[in-house]
Amino acid sequence: MPKLKERTFAIPTATTCCWMLILNLASLFHNTADAFVNNNNYKMITTSQTITVSQTRKRASTLFLLSQDLHQKMKYLDLERTGEGIDHADEAAVSASLYMNPAASKLAPHVQISWEPDAANIIKQLAKISNPSRPLMVGVVGIPGSGKSTSCEILAAFLEDEVDAMVMPMDGYHYSLEQLATFPDADDKIYRRGATDTFDPASLARDLERIAHGTEDEIYIPGFDHALGDPVPNQHVFQRNKHKVVICEGLYLLHDKDGWEHIQKFLDWTIFIEADVDVCIDRLKERNKCIPGYTPEEIEVRCEEVDRVNAELASLTAGKYASMVVQTGAILPKEDNCEIF
């Protein structure tokens, strides 16, 4: 990396020193974005300068994380498709630093980023020919630990040069703990939270109907607060004049029973992220160690009794109905992002 030119000033005041730091950081950030990584997956190119994977990893982990906005990060990079996938730990870590939300600071060695550009191109073409009076509705289904949330953010980033996309997580439609406590089998439902009957698919269908066929200029969508362990209202907003694509992501969007069968009709095009269930369950066992009130042994049992059952159930129907099936590895987020709540 070219050495930054030294700047000298007659009076090195505090203000001058601050400006020197800002200018140097800006130059360093720009030069780091020149890096390309060619590991049979992507080349990241803005100039001809080349640096090693290890150098990229060190710089990306610091400099790219200065920006907390994934979309802003993507603007610094010109992505050129060169291969099938990333399957080496170092290359995967570089990919995580450059592509992914900073919250995904721990990355499984198997993570692959290979299908998002192709899917984004298809979505762009569909958006061009779809009904201009309504947004294109895209569904992304993946089991817990498959990386669907991060992939949806990457999809939105790839789309933004042509269309604005909103990511709409299904997690906001969990029944709250207070609601679950009112059921006759409350203890069982709370333990199995994440199963089909612990969500409110009717509310999800109602909001999808409002977005796809309504006339409201803005529609507020619930999100999920992992710190609270409960859904919270008005965490996402659909803006009709802005968002031409809505990417709804979740586990049961293509499930065909238990009230979920009414969801598919609102989705114009769907993607199923096919991932190794055993790998994802192992990731969950590690990730969910942060859940308060559970021992590691209880986490192990719950992941097998609840999460594995949910994952296998969702995979059966998603593979049958999805417009596009892709394969990926699994993202292991920070330990405070527990899957149970």
CATH classification of the domain holding 132: 3.40.50.300
For residue 126, being part of any structural domain is answered with yes
Residue 327 has what pLDDT? 84
The arithmetic mean of pLDDT across residues 134-146, rounded, is 94
Is pLDDT of 187 > 90? yes
pLDDT attached to residue 336: 40
Residues 18 and 54 in one domain: yes
If you average pLDDT over every residue of the chain, what do you get? Answer: 73
Which pLDDT tens digit goes with each residue over 64-79?
A: 334 444 444 444 333 3
For residues 66 and 157, state if they share a domain. no
Least reliable range by pLDDT among 2-11, 107-116, 221-230: 2-11
Same domain? For 305 and 201 the reply is yes
Whether residues 128 and 25 fall in one domain: no
Residue 331 CA to residue 105 CA, distance in Å, equals 9
- Residue 102 — very low, low, confident or very high, per pLDDT cuts 50/70/90? very low
**More confident position, 94 or 282:** 282
Same domain membership, residue 187 and residue 44: no
Query: What mean pLDDT is predicted for residues 14-36?
Result: 46
Instruction: State residue 113's pLDDT score.
Output: 59
Our CA angle for 198, 201, 202, nearest 5°, is 125
| Claim to verify: residue 151 and residue 77 sit in the same structural domain | no
Let me know whether 94 and 129 are in one domain. no
pLDDT at 315 over 70: yes
Q: Residues 124, 47: one domain?
A: no
3-state secondary structure of 23: helix
Give the chain's domain count.
2
Q: Is residue 341 in a domain?
A: no
Q: Which residue has better confidence, 47 or 218?
A: 218
Q: Which of 74-88, 169-183, 199-213, 219-233 has the lowest mean pLDDT?
A: 74-88
Q: What is the arithmetic mean of pLDDT over 204-212?
A: 98
pLDDT of amino acid 24: 53
Cβ atoms of 39 and 91 within 8 Å: the answer is: yes
Residues 178 and 327 in one domain: yes
Residue of 327, 171, 155 lying closest to 245 (CA atoms):
155
Domain boundary residue, one of 99, 132, 147 = 99
Shared domain check, 181 and 94? no
Look at residue 211 in the predicted model and tell me its pLDDT: 98
Range of the domain at 91: 14-99
More confident residue, 205 or 20: 205
